[in-house]
Each structure stands twice: as C-alpha cells, then as structure tokens.
Chain A
Amino acid sequence: MSNLSELLPAGGGGKSVDFVASGTITSGKPVILNSAGTVTEVSGSSVLTGTVSDFLSANGAYSAAAYDTTNNQGLVIYRDNNAAIKGRIITVDSSNNITYGTETTIHTAANTLTTTAVYDSTHQRYVVMFKDGNGDGQALTLSPSGTGGSAAFTVGSATYFPVSASNDIRSTFLDSCFDPDTGQVIVAFADTGNSNHFYMSVGEVRTSPEDIQWGTAVAVDTNGACSSFSVTYDTTANKVLALWELDGTSGKAVVGTVTSGTIGSFGTVVNYTSNPYKPGSAYNVDNNCFLILFRNDAASMYLTAIGAKVDGSDNSVVFGTAVVVTSEYSESYPQGVTYSTAMDKFTAAYYLAAGYQYRNFSVSSAATPVVTLATAVTFPSTSDGVYANYYDPDEDAVVFTWRRVGGPWGAQAITPGSTNLSATTFIGISDAAISSAASGSVTIKGGISTNVTGLTANSTYYVQADGTLATTSSSVLAGKALSSTSINLDYTT
C-alpha cells in the first residue's frame, strides 16, 4: 500500500451514492444533479472572448449590423458625427479577434436616424435602410469585396420604401429581415404620412443597376400610431413574424406570407404583451421557435423574454409564458438577439444599471415554447447601452458592437459557451460508466473519487465547462488531488 486511497473502495470515503443516469455517463467524469434526482455528465463548451477593437473614435449613433454568409464577414454601419452614415466590413479570426475593412461612406447627410441592415444571400448584397435627413425611408445596397483589412464595399443607388417616396417614416424604429426563399428583403416601419400606421414593404435587389426595387407598401395595422417594430423570418414555415407596439399600450404580433414584391395572407393579429419597447427577435431552426426579448414598459420597464412558434398552415402564432429576465430597469435601446445552431442557444445583450450584460437563452420545441435563462455574464467592456449584434456561424461567435461610455464605438467577438454545469448542480464524479436510464454509483461532494486520471497530487482542480478537471480556475471547485487517480472532493461551502 502506498497511500490511503488504496484502502478505499471505488467511490470511496463512504460518500458513494447510486443515481439513475440521464444520458450516458463515462467513468470518472463530473456529473450534475438534475431536479428529477437523476444525474447527467457535465458537458459543454467554454467561453472564448476576443479583444475589443474600435471602429469609430467618437460621436456615433444609430448603428446596425448584419452577417454575410457568402464571404463569412460581417458589417457594422453607424452615423458618424451627424454628418454621414458609414460602414466597415468585420472579419473575425479563430481567436475571436476582429479586423476591420476600409471605412466607407454610405450616405452623406445630417440628421439621419433609425437604421437597419440585412444581408441578401441570393443577390450577395447588404441592404441598408434608414430614416434619411429629410425623414424619408431610404434604402441602399452594398456590394462587398475583399477580405480582412482590405475588405470594402461599393454603394448602390438610393430607393425609397414607404407608401410614397416622399413620405416620412417614424423614428421609433425600423426593422428588417431577409427571406431566402423568395430572395427578398422585408422592412417594417411606421409611415408618418399615414398617421404612423404600420406598413411593411418587400423589395428585391438588382445587381445591374445596383439598387433594391420595392413593391407597394402594405398596411398591416391602421388602428393607431405604431412603433417598436421587429420582423423575423421563419425558415421552416417560410413566413415572417412581425411584432409592433400600438398606441403605446399593446404589443401586437402577426404572421404573413411573402410573395413577389409584397406580403399578405396575414393570420389573426394577437396581443403577446401589453407594452413592449423595441423587441428583438431571432429564429431557432433546430427547435422551430422564436425568442423575443423586450423591455416591458407595463411592468417596471423590466427586460422580459417570451418564446413563440408559428404555424404556417394558417399563419397563426402561439406565445409561451413571459419570463422576467432582470428585475431591474432596462435601458431604452433595441434588444439584440441572435441564435447559434452550434450551441443551440439564443444570445442577447442588454444594458442595466449594473452594466452591459449578455446571456444565453433556451427555448423549448414544445407547442407552447418555454424560455429558460442561463446565467448572465457582465460584459467584459463598458457600454452606455447603444449596440447592435450579429451571429458569425463560421466562428460560432456573437459580434457585439456598441458605444462605450462617453467615448469610442467598438466591437468584440465572443463565443458565449454553453454548459450544463453550475456550482449548484455539480454533485460529484461517476465511479463507473453508467448507461442512460441505468443506476450507477457516484462519489458525491465531500467524498474521495478514486477513478479519475491524469491528476497531479496536491494540486487543486476545478470542473471545466466541457466536463474535464483542470487546475484552471472556474466557478466550480472540484477539490485537491491525492494522487494521479484520486481527488478529495471539496464540500465546504
């Protein structure tokens, strides 16, 4: 006998307990305790945070962002010093560090306001839509070229999407999405020339000449003044889910079908909440559901999340139960929501008195979707709440762009990571392999696990997001190694 652990049974120390496994468990691996009393092997991925990089020194406003799935690059646009709308191509490398392309002027005028951007993968153009200096709803196409620091774009000719080309649009707010099935862009806005009623226009990009041609604007809600628009395309049902606020008192939703140059066949308009301010939405193709995040001005201005599912057979939409994300006043800026197929999670950023935060959200595939919140992460950098995000599927990173407090505008790429591990759910280490639904032994916290491998005696180990044990600090302390194969599992707190 060389050490005490040889006297102990597998899972030694008297703290070995049998549990039923939910999912297959490998021998000697950290496991979590589920609310049903079963255990699951810890699995997931770690956060990868790139370096902050600035794209504008000061005096910016009205940013928007989009991702080019053809060239695997992003776009950020912004108003510079109230003199012009400019933009840069963003390239993210495997370390999540950012390279900007050449800054290019998109539109020269003062007093431009709300802005939105999408990427049209059919015509391989960005489409930028904004309230121009005359108050009109203007659209421009951007044709990207080059890579990395040499990436740039050329700007097409202006067209106008409101009911009439000279009609003003309301400042609060634009939103847009791209329909890959018909290769068209959908923009949602309030037409000031028509009592701020809610309209949607559908346009198709032309590459010769370079512009976007709009169909006649479609009235969606003429019952009052509308604002806080969100439009998201459902690639399963091939429909558009539109959200808006009516008269500052009710949050409305409707599903529509896009055809050539127009949108129609609307389903029944439903109230999904009482008073939402600037919702953000994204679609999860894996679970066929939406996550909608909004500031609930009818409930203390708390940030609130709700899941939704569209039925394309009758253009209906079902909402789940709203979940309060933060019981704290949320700043009055658009909510950026993205979806990662790699993580099967939504990610959103928002601004609170406590600082700029992001977190992951899960939405179930149930007929009435259920939202689950992950732990919030305080953003690595400061913000004063103005931001736009997009998801880069090639690097599995969310690119956050924002105005730093009182200063420059920057961007940072972060792979949020996803794990089932937390300090409260970690229960111990499996004593042997356990088949899913079978019962097996786990050495729980406070015991001595004796079938791990590769440890260094007297080193302190932590459970990592992917389920490995490492000396790298994490929020979950495992314990101190007694030998290369045994660890005294801590349970002092």
Chain B
Amino acid sequence: MSNLSELLPTGGGQNAVDFVASGSLAAGIAVAINTNGTVSIVSAGNIGSLIGITAKAISDTATGTVNLFGGINEVQTGLTIGSDYYAQADGTITTTSTSPAIKVGQAISATTINMVDWT
C-alpha cells in the first residue's frame, strides 16, 4: 500500500459504509440509522437520525452501501448544478429547505451530490 486511497471504496472515499437495510431501500434516498445498527428510509419520526444517502438499491435485510455525511453520492438524477439539496421527511432529496428538511450537500453534476461534513 502506498497511500490511503487504496483502502478507500469508490464513490465517496472513506465515507461510504455498508449497512443492513431495514425495509427495502431505493438507490439515492436518505436513510437514518436505527438503534440496532440497521438503516431505514428517513421519515418524520427518524429524520434526526439521518446518516446518509444510499449508494445503490438495497433489499430488506440485505447489505448495501450508504454514502455518509462527508462523502459523495453519485446516483441522483435531475439535479441542478450548484444548488443545495436537502433530505425530506419522506426520504427524497430535493431543494426544499423547509423544516424538518436537513441539508445533505450541493449538486456538483446532474447526478452527484457533494455531501456536507457531519457536524
């Protein structure tokens, strides 16, 4: 190994992590972490536990990759370059910033969001 990048997965560096899905998850939706370590689609009840965006579709109880805060999600569609995007209470990612939406990052292409760091 010559540098850390060899340890990093593609698509978002060190902030792409595998989780078990609780419920079927589409690619590119906002997910929250549960107390048992699984992830579920964001809802009004768990948006405070928002952890990231799915990097691909994950079947219920299957393992799949989530791009965490600080990473890059590359599976969106129809983004407006330069706009800020927010996770909504139904798991969608839109430009609506009205509470309880939480900012997830900025579109750097029509399909890619540079995700804000975890604070």
- Look across to chain A and name the residue whose beta carbon is closest to the beta carbon of B5: A9
Interface window among A12-20, A47-55, A119-127, A404-412: A12-20
Whether B72 lies near A8 (C-beta < 8 A) is no
Interface window among B10-18, B31-39, B58-66: B10-18
Interface: B115 (CB within 8 A): yes
Q: State the total of A-B contacts with C-beta under 8 angstroms.
A: 75
Whether B81 lies near A33 (C-beta < 8 A) is yes
Interface: A492 (CB within 8 A): yes
Given contacts A9-B3, A13-B14, A15-B13, contact A33 B108 (CB under 8 A): yes
Interface: B114 (CB within 8 A): yes
Whether B115 lies near A14 (C-beta < 8 A) is no
Whether B114 lies near A12 (C-beta < 8 A) is no
Query: Which A residues are in CB contact (< 8 Å) with B105?
Result: 491
Question: Which of A144-181 touch B at CB < 8 Å?
Answer: none
Within the assembled complex, what's the spacing in Å between the Cα atoms of A9 and B8? 11
Query: Which A residues are in CB contact (< 8 Å) with B114?
Result: 15, 17, 427, 444-446, 491
Whether B82 lies near A493 (C-beta < 8 A) is no
Whether A37 lies near B109 (C-beta < 8 A) is yes
Whether B3 lies near A425 (C-beta < 8 A) is no
Question: Which of A25-40 touch B at CB < 8 Å?
Answer: 33-37
Interface: A424 (CB within 8 A): yes
Given contacts A17-B72, A35-B81, A37-B109, contact A491 B8 (CB under 8 A): no
Say which size band chain A's interface belongs to: 20 to 34
B40 to chain A, nearest CB (A): 25
Q: Mark B14-33, 1 if CB is under 8 A from A, else 0.
A: 11000000000000000000
Partner among B4, B15, B108, B112 whose Cβ is within 8 Å of the Cβ of A12: B4
Query: Which A residues are in CB contact (< 8 Å) with B117?
Result: 446, 490-492
A233 to chain B, nearest CB (A): 39
Whether B81 lies near A14 (C-beta < 8 A) is no
Q: Mark A461-493, 1 if CB is under 8 A from B, else 0.
A: 000000000000000000000000000001111
| Known pairs A492-B117, A493-B119 / 20 extra A-B pairs, C-beta < 8 Å | A6-B3, A7-B3, A7-B4, A12-B4, A14-B8, A14-B13, A15-B71, A17-B112, A19-B108, A33-B82, A34-B81, A34-B82, A36-B81, A37-B81, A444-B72, A444-B114, A447-B13, A491-B116, A492-B116, A493-B103
A-B contact pairs, 30 of them (CB 8 A): A7-B3, A7-B4, A8-B3, A8-B5, A12-B4, A13-B14, A14-B5, A14-B12, A14-B71, A15-B13, A17-B108, A17-B114, A34-B81, A36-B81, A37-B81, A37-B110, A424-B82, A425-B82, A427-B106, A427-B108, A427-B114, A444-B114, A445-B106, A445-B114, A446-B116, A446-B117, A491-B116, A491-B117, A492-B116, A492-B119
